[in-house]
Amino acid sequence: MIPSDGERLFQRQPTNPIIRAADLPYPANAAFNPGAARVDGETVLLLRVEDLRGISLLQVARSRDGVTDWRFDEQPLLQPLTEHPEEIWGCEDPRLVWMPERDEWSIAYTAYSNRGPLVSLAMTRDFREVRRFGPVMPPEDKDASLFPHRIDGRWAMIHRPSPLRGGAHMWISYSPDLRHWGDHTLLIEAREGAWWDADKIGLGPPPLATPDGWLVMYHGAHPTASGPIYRVGFALLDLERPEVVLRRSDNWVLGPQADYERVGDVNKVVFPNGWVMDDATDTLSLYYGAGDSVVALATARLSEVLDHVRHTPALQHRRNSDSSG
Ligand code: BMA
């Protein structure tokens, strides 16, 4: 079988990279891996900014069209605080989810503690003031996002613990109150061997509700002699039981091809953790870090993405008991 060409789904913005460190109102080494949201008619990106110490902060950028004329708040929204020792080495890679029941945005981000990366939550209404929830998963764990609403009465979160043995896989966990998490269930496993998503995978942007199921984009870090290549592909989760994976693409849909993706502080990295869906134009805008240095944008038609995903292999439903070991 000739695999369908998923790499044509996304069109890169011709003016990429759309944001660089030099655009910021203060000196910094890199601006990358943004979370994305649409707030009051504007696109808000919560950028990971690596400062000149090597510590990452989360910085708001706003734009009417989501492409040009970015305005930057003077101060970062989240930066390490002494009363939060779990963030001593920085705040990284946020995923932003609007939660109608709470009437606020959740920010799931990687807090870099001196015992390793862990998952922290914070809440905001407007991306001007923020309230920290603190750590919700111990180290090592990252690449987390909440779902926008409760599922069967409980909140759900995808995350990526790093076990001592075997690969690093995506898990889903549940909570009655966003603080106490349990029913940890293996969701999507990294493949093995030569696959693009062998050994280490992790969630990209937050899960997106579609008529077919939760659309999940995830990254694979394919190991090579010159370091990993970060690419992304799709999976589809059952709407009512998101621990059930309905489909998973064999091929990646976006990988490092452009110069700004192939060369940076870390070469050959595309790392999306934010997207914005415009239903009126069927346009999915994917914001991603390129080369751990700059922010880039690529767009796709959601209807074409779903058509592509419908042609990816359907998976056997796994029983919960298969994944508890
Ligand atoms: C991952 C994360 C990302 C980073 C990527 C590539 O493990 O740390 O923040 O973009 O590696 O270096």
Look up residue 181 and give its two tokens.
Answer: 């998490």
* CA 152 to centroid of ligand 1, rounded, Å: 33
pTM higher than 0.85, yes or no?
yes
Taking the CB of residue 216, how many other CB atoms lie within 10 A of it? 26
Is residue 266 in contact with ligand 1, taking CB distance under 6 Å? yes
- Spell out the domains of the chain, with CATH numbers in brackets: 23-310 (2.115.10.20)
Q: Please, what is the Cα angle at 111 between 124 and 35, to 5 degrees?
A: 50
At residue 306, φ and ψ (nearest 5 deg) are -65, -35
Is residue 271 in contact with ligand 1, taking CB distance under 6 Å? yes
Is residue 269 in contact with ligand 1, taking CB distance under 6 Å? yes
Residues 207, 203: Cα–Cα separation, whole Å: 9
248: which strand partners? 235
Is residue 228 in contact with ligand 1, taking CB distance under 6 Å? no
Is residue 118 in contact with ligand 1, taking CB distance under 6 Å? no
269 CA closest ligand 1 atom index: 6
* CA 202 to centroid of ligand 1, rounded, Å: 10
Residues 224, 239: Cα–Cα separation, whole Å: 36
271 CA closest ligand 1 atom index: 10
Look up residue 294 and give its two tokens.
Answer: 């700059």
252 and 196 Cβ atoms separated by less than 8 Å: yes
Is residue 92 in contact with ligand 1, taking CB distance under 6 Å? yes
* CA 270 to centroid of ligand 1, rounded, Å: 9
117 CA closest ligand 1 atom index: 8
* CA 289 to centroid of ligand 1, rounded, Å: 9
63 and 42 Cβ atoms separated by less than 8 Å: yes
292 CA closest ligand 1 atom index: 10
Is residue 33 in contact with ligand 1, taking CB distance under 6 Å? yes
Look up residue 157 and give its two tokens.
Answer: 């979160």
124: which strand partners? 105
* CA 319 to centroid of ligand 1, rounded, Å: 31
Residues 151, 52: Cα–Cα separation, whole Å: 42
Best probe residue, ligand 1, of 29, 32, 33 (max atoms within 8 Å of C-beta) = 33
* CA 182 to centroid of ligand 1, rounded, Å: 26
Is residue 243 in contact with ligand 1, taking CB distance under 6 Å? no
Q: Helix, strand, coil % (nearest 5) of the chain? A: 10, 50, 40
- The tens-digit pLDDT sequence of the chain (325 residues) is 445 578 899 999 999 999 999 999 999 999 999 999 999 999 999 999 999 999 999 999 999 999 999 999 999 999 999 899 999 999 999 999 999 999 999 999 999 999 999 999 999 999 999 999 999 999 999 999 999 999 999 999 999 999 888 899 999 999 999 999 999 999 999 999 999 999 999 999 999 999 999 999 999 999 999 999 999 999 999 999 999 999 999 999 999 999 999 999 999 999 999 999 999 999 999 999 999 999 999 999 999 999 999 998 888 765 444 444 3
Is residue 110 in contact with ligand 1, taking CB distance under 6 Å? no
Residue nearest to atom 2 of ligand 1 (CA): 93
Q: What is the pLDDT of residue 240?
A: 97
